């Protein structure tokens, strides 16, 4: 009798839960800990916070290399590439790489010929919005960039940057062959041709080729854009 009772008690004992594998436990944990997707209201609130920084001037994101600050994290990510040289966006046609996707999109149009932006005044078309903005100023006469030293104004920021160097004497562009320095990149490009012998411009009248064409054209047109004055023993050349 004693043996029978013992056997029954073992049979009636509660069963322990089935063992789960390590993989199952990890899957269960990741499911319970997964954060819910942000709702549309949260996205709208986040966009509002970013926009408010336009008014407050708040720039909570800063570059650890140069300490420059930004209102949006995405702009900081783009800026970091100016230090790292990273260019993660590649053109599938010519394999040229770019630091920003917008620059890649603009570049692609050099292959496709697409010009989606047009001037409302003259209907001239452009491959990117920035080029259209610059062009509009030829109609409006707007010159939003001004020199803090002499108050001269410019339609293009690049022209203001060049002009500033007439005050500072800065010459950041140097020739790799003779080490001669220049204030702007276009002057360096023209100078390089004195070493390479390159003559990319052809005259429409005589078909002779030149490294720079403006001076030669005047031999055909007779144009004399420079006025030479003689004042009190001084030779003055005016535009």
Q: Is 0.75 surpassed by the pTM of this model?
A: no
The pLDDT tens digits for 191-230 are 998 899 888 888 888 888 877 777 888 888 888 766 555 5
Residues 211 and 198: beta-carbon distance below 8 Å: yes
CA pair distance 37, 79, nearest whole angstrom: 29
Predicted pLDDT at 64: 93
CA pair distance 140, 125, nearest whole angstrom: 17
Give residue 197's region: left, alpha or beta (phi > 0; psi -120 to 50): left
Predicted pLDDT at 219: 85
Question: Average pLDDT of the chain?
Answer: 82
The pLDDT tens digits for 109-165 are 999 999 999 999 999 999 999 999 999 999 999 999 999 999 999 999 989 999 999
Predicted pLDDT at 90: 95
């Amino acid at each position: 009798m004693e043996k029978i009772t013992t056997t029954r008690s073992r049979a009636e004992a509660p069963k322990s839960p089935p063992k789960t594998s390590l993989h199952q436990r990890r899957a269960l944990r990741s499911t319970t800990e997964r954060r819910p997707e942000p709702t549309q209201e949260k996205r709208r609130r986040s966009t509002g916070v970013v926009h408010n920084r336009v008014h407050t001037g708040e720039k909570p994101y800063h570059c650890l290399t140069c300490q420059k600050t930004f209102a949006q994290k995405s702009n900081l990510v783009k800026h970091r590439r100016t230090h790292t040289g990273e260019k993660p966006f590649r053109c599938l046609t010519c394999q040229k790489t770019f630091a920003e996707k917008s620059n890649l999109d603009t570049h692609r149009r050099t292959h496709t010929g697409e010009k989606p932006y047009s001037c409302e005044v003259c209907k001239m078309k452009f491959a990117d919005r920035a080029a259209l903005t610059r062009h509009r100023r030829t109609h409006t006469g707007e010159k939003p960039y001004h020199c803090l030293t002499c108050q001269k104004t410019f339609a293009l920021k690049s022209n203001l940057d060049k002009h500033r160097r007439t005050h500072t004497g800065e010459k950041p562009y140097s020739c790799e062959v003779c080490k001669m320095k220049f204030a702007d990149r276009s002057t360096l490009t023209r100078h390089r041709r004195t070493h390479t012998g390159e003559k990319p411009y052809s005259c429409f009248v005589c078909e002779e080729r030149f490294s720079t064409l403006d001076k030669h054209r005047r031999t055909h047109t007779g144009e004399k854009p420079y006025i030479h004055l003689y004042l009190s023993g001084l030779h003055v050349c005016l535009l």
